[in-house]
Amino acid sequence: MWSLKTNRIDCPANATETRTERDEAGAGGGRNDSSMEEDNKLQFPSLPATKEELLDWAYPMRREMQEILPGLFLGPYSAAMKSKLPNLERQGITHVVCVRQDIEANFIKPNFPHTFRYLVLDIADNPVENLIRFFPTTKEFIDSCLATGGKVLVHGNAGISRR
């Protein structure tokens, strides 16, 4: 685990660490308050250790849904098309968030309304669209899905916009 303190980055024990004389003497002007140091410590996830961990995702996978958090998938509309029903069921998808523009409503739409619960968001694909107003409803939908052991797919048209 990597951690960032207020005045330096601490690396894991197996990584190389450089310490200065000032660090050894205590950079706090003679005050060495370890409890204050612990309060100011931020935790970061470990960096990938092997090449296999780095190759977890590849560019050709961009057209498939990806599990970005346990139970939360992100992908393009092509991952939710009628031909993909077996894959959605195999992955355990129970809920779908469909993000589209008003003008896309005729072709970006819920394909399985009797199979999955849907939340459809009509959001303009432009840099000034206020996305924050959709957060509470979307969060509630996703949280309720995950709380019941379900899995949710969030998709747009290509899976690359409205970020």
Q: Are residues 125 and 91 in the same domain?
A: yes
pLDDT higher than 60, residue 15:
no
Segment among 42-46, 85-89, 123-127, 159-163 with least mean pLDDT: 159-163
Regarding whether 37 and 9 lie in a shared domain, the answer is: yes
User: Among 46-50, 136-140, 158-162, whose mean pLDDT is lowest?
Assistant: 158-162
Q: Is the pTM of this model over 0.75?
A: no
Do 85 and 92 meet the contact criterion of CB atoms below 8 Å apart? no
Q: Are residues 61 and 123 in the same domain?
A: yes
Domain count, the chain: 2
Q: Which domain holds residue 86?
A: 57-155
User: Do the domain assignments include residue 49?
Assistant: no
* 7 shares its domain with 86: no
Burial class of residue 69 in the structure, from the number of CB atoms within 10 Å of its CB (0-12 exposed, 13-18 middle, 19+ buried): exposed
